[in-house]
Every structure is written in structure tokens, then in C-alpha cells.
Structure 1
Amino acid sequence: MASLNVGSLGEYLREQRRNAQLSLRQLADAAGVSNPYLSQIERGLRKPSAEILQQLAKALRISAETLYVQAGILDERDREGVEVRTAILTDPSINEKQKQVLLQIYESFRRENGVADAPPDSPPPAPRQRSGGDDVPGIPE
């Protein structure tokens, strides 16, 4: 396991929090951590556990795997597909249902192409509907 890189993790968390237009207090409340603890994480003084990172990711609506990579818990090579999921989850121009549908389609394509490393918190694949020669999952002809 790689060592924790808390300096860049804190900077990354602060950037994500600001992009989400959340105050430190709002994120702390949403993630279920104390305001001072979150502040210490952002300043690189604390090393959060994977569980805390998962809570923060959920509150920020980003992939927990992205935070694990930033923290050095996951290797960069384990990050395949994380950027796409993060981009979908953080896009303010689409609603939650649209985000879930996009994630389902993306994961379905990855599984169909033999990539079975979908993150455990990813949604289930979209139901496959075939008519004619259509190979696009979940999209009727």
C-alpha cells in the first residue's frame, strides 16, 4: 500500500469543496465529520481513514476511488475509469437521474468489453433490450 499523500489530498479536497460551492462547515456536516477535523485534513495535518474518505466523497458527490488515489491508498493504475465516473457525477448540467443512467450505460459497456473492475459503489448495469441488431444496452431501437 502506498503512503498517504495528505498534502495534495487536502488541496484536492479543498478544491472539490469549493467547486461544489460548500463551506467547510457544510461539507463537515454532510460528511458527518467535525469542522476542525475536516480543516486539519484540508491543511494536510490529518490522515483520514478510507471510511472518512468515502463519507467525504459521498458528500462531495465524487468517486471515493478518486480520493483513495489522491490519498495514496489506491495506485494510479487502479484508477481506470474513475475520471469518467467523476466527470459524470460532478457535472452540474445534468440531473441525478441522468447521471445514474449515464453511469449504468458506461459500466455496462465496460463489462461488455471485459473490464470487470467496476467500483463496488457503482450502480448496476442498465437492462439490456435487444431488437434487431441493436447492441446498445438499455436503449430500445
Structure 2
Amino acid sequence: MVPVSGTDGVEKIGQAVEDIGAYIRRQREGAEVSLRQLAKVAGISNPYLSQIERGLRKPSAEILAQIATGLRISAEALYVRAGILEPRESSPVLDAVAADPDLSERQKQVLTDIYESFRRGNVAETSAAVSSAATGPQDAGTDVGGVTPTDAGRRSS
């Protein structure tokens, strides 16, 4: 990674703050929640939320989590938008778990960990199967159907 120097770094941070604010505003408007309602649920002041949405303030991870709860969206989505977390590989299952308002953040993390461990296990099994198939049949006398020439002769008689 190339270090960012001088004003380039400041500009990128400023752009990220504007982006997260615009994203929060779009989510709030899409959910048909007023600025006052969201501020109340998130436990922050109206002016502070307004400043976040306009890109004038950079919210902390804690404030983002409170806003996410108020919008009933994943805190992880806001963290990724804010540059706090790296984006994850998308999956309908992970998206559904992240969006479920009835699960706590801890429950979401546990389900995500279990799901990803199953996926890693399946990838490992698939790799092993491909690897063994590439080496060919272990018995040189077995044809593709798993029948030896001797067996085939016995069956046809």
C-alpha cells in the first residue's frame, strides 16, 4: 500500500465522511424516518445527526452502531462505508443474517462465523476431491465406470 501524503489523505478522509453521511441520509429517507426520530432512537442530538449527514462530522464507531440500530440496518454496513472495516464477500445468507433486526450483534457474528466455517470446509473438500480426481484412478485395471475388464466379462456371460 502506498502511503497517502499531505492533502490527498485529508481529501480522502473528507470524502469518506461525506459518503457515510449521504449514505445515512439515503437510508433514513428510504425508511421514511425523520431526522428527529432517528436522532432520538440513536441517542444523539438533531444538530449532530444533521452535521453527520451533511459530511461535517465524522461519527465514531459507537455512534454509527446507534444509527444503524435506529435505521434497522447492519452496523457492519456502516462500518464498511465509513472505512472502519474492510468489505466482506457478499452472500445472500450473510446479508440476511446482517439485516435481521431480531438478532443481537453477537448472535449475528456467531452465525456468520459458523456459516463461513462451513463454506471453508466445503472448499477444502472440493479441493481434495479435485486433487484426487486429477491423479486418476488408483487401480490401473479399472475403467471409467469403475468396472474392471474381468468384471465386465463376468457380467456379460
Under TM normalisation by the shorter chain, which class is it? Answer: 0.5 to 0.7
Q: CA contact under 8 A between 1:27 and 1:60: conserved in structure 2?
A: yes
- Structure 2: state its 5+ residue gaps: 1-11, 104-108, 122-157
Structure 1 partner of 2:55: 44
Structure 2 partner of 1:60: 71
Structure 2 partner of 1:35: 46
| Pairs aligned (count) | 105
Distance 1:105 1:13, change over 3 A: same
Q: CA contact under 8 A between 1:41 and 1:47: conserved in structure 2?
A: yes
Distance 1:109 1:88, change over 3 A: closer
- Structure 1: state its 5+ residue gaps: 98-102, 116-141
Q: CA contact under 8 A between 1:6 and 1:46: conserved in structure 2?
A: yes
Higher relative contact order (CA 8 A, sep 6+): 1
Give the TM-score taking structure 1 as reference length.
0.59
Structure having the larger proportion of residues in helix:
2
Distance 1:82 1:28, change over 3 A: farther
Q: Which moved more, 1:104-113 or 1:51-60?
A: 104-113
Q: Is 2:90 the counterpart of 1:79?
A: no
Distance 1:47 1:82, change over 3 A: farther
Question: Which structure has the larger Rg?
Answer: 2
Map 1:1-141 onto structure 2 (within 5 A): 3=13, 5-74=16-85, 78-81=86-89, 84=92, 85-86=94-95, 96=102, 108-114=114-120
Letter in 2 for 1:113: R
Shift of 1:64: 1.1
Look up the SS of the partner of 1:46 in the other structure. Answer: coil
Shift of 1:105: 6.9
- The ranges of structure 1 where at least 4 consecutive aligned residues each deviate by more than 2 angstroms after the TM superposition are 81-91, 103-111
State the Cα deviation string for residues 33-77 of structure 1 (Å, max 9, x = none).
111100000000001001000111111111111111111222xxx
Q: CA contact under 8 A between 1:57 and 1:64: conserved in structure 2?
A: yes
Give the TM-score taking structure 2 as reference length.
0.54
**Root mean square deviation of aligned Cα:** 3.1
Partners of 1:7 and 1:55 in 2: CA distance: 18
Shift of 1:19: 1.4
Partners of 1:9 and 1:111 in 2: CA distance: 31
Partners of 1:112 and 1:68 in 2: CA distance: 25
Q: CA contact under 8 A between 1:63 and 1:82: conserved in structure 2?
A: no
